[in-house]
Amino acid sequence: MELTPKIKFLGMTFDVTVMIGTVVTAIIVLLIVFLLSRGRSMKPRGAQNVMEYVIEFIRGITNMMLEAKKAEKYLSFAITTFLFVLIANMLGVIVMVNSEVHGAIPSLGITEKALKTSHEISWFKSPTSDINVTVAMAFAIALYAHFSGLFKSPKRYFAHYFQPYALMFPLHLIDECAKPVTHAARLWANIFAGEVLILILREGIPYLTAVPMFLWIGFSVFVGCIQAYIFTVLAMVYISQKVADEH
C-alpha cells in the first residue's frame, strides 16, 4: 500500500492527496459543463448535443422515481452528483502520480513506522477511493432526503416510521442507518479494490501482468461508469422515498 501525505490542522487530519483529487475533479467538471454549454442555440450542434444527451439521461433517472413536475426540482442536483462521481472515478484510472520517499517527513505525517510498509507516496488518485469522501457525500444526501421529507410534511414523515405496524419501528431505524453506510461503502469499495489491483499488477512481472493490467483498466472504466450511475440512482431513490406522494 502506498502512503499518502497528511496535514494536521486544528486537531484534524487532512489527506493532501484527497484534497488535490477533489479540487481537480471539481475544476474538470466545471470546465466540461462550462465549455459544453457555450453558444446555445435552438438547433443543437456539436458540443451542445453532448450536454443535452447527459441531461436527458439524468432526466430519465429522476423521472423514474418521481412524477415529471417534481423531478425537475432535483434534476440539477442529480446531474452534479453524477458528473462529479463519474469524473472522480475516471481520474484514478487515467492518472496516477507517485513519488518515492527515503526519509521520514513528520510535517506530512510520514513517520519511520509508516516507512516500513512502503516507500511510495501517492499524490494523485481517485477521491472516491477514499472512504471519507464517499461517506461525506452519502451522509449529505441522507440529510438532504430527511430534511426534504421533514419540511414537506412533518406528520407524514414521523408517521412513516410506524407503518405498517408500530412494532416495525426498530427495523425502520436500522434501515435508515444502513442506507448511507451501504451507499458510501458501495462506491468506495469498488473504486478502492480496482485501484489496489492496478497497483499490484503494476508491481508484478511485466511479461505476466501487462495483459491482465490492460484488461483490468478497461474493466475499471466500465465499473466507474456503472457505479456513478448507481450512486445517482440510489440517491434519487432515497430522496424520493421521503418526498414522494403515496397513491
CB closer to other proteins out of 93 and 149: 93
Residue from 82, 192, 216, 238 in contact with other proteins (CB under 8 A): 192
Interatomic CA distance for residues 20 and 40, integer angstroms: 32
Let me know: does 71 contact 58? Beta carbons within 8 Å: no
Grid cell for residue 204: 508484478
Write out the three cell numbers for 112: 519511520
Q: Which is nearer to other proteins, 149 or 195 (CB)?
A: 195
Q: Report if residue 117 touches other proteins, rule: CB under 8 A.
A: yes
Choose the binding region for other proteins from 64-72, 164-172, 189-197, 235-243 (rule: CB under 8 A): 189-197
Give the long-range contacts of residues 132-135, CB within 8 A, separation 24 or more.
Answer: 132/15, 132/18, 133/18, 133/22, 133/88, 133/188, 134/184, 134/185, 134/187, 134/188, 135/180, 135/181, 135/184, 135/188
Phi first, then psi, for residue 42 (nearest 5°) are: -65, -30
What mask of x and - would describe binding to other proteins in positions 1 to 20, judged by CB under 8 A?
Answer: x-------------------
- The answer to whether 230 contacts other proteins (rule: CB under 8 A) is yes
Is residue 62 part of the contact set for other proteins (CB under 8 A)?
no
Which parts of 153-182 interact with other proteins (CB under 8 A)?
182
Decide if residue 196 touches other proteins (CB under 8 A). Answer: yes
**Given the rule CB under 8 A, which residues bind other proteins?**
1, 117, 182, 185-186, 188-190, 192-193, 196, 223, 226-227, 229-230, 233
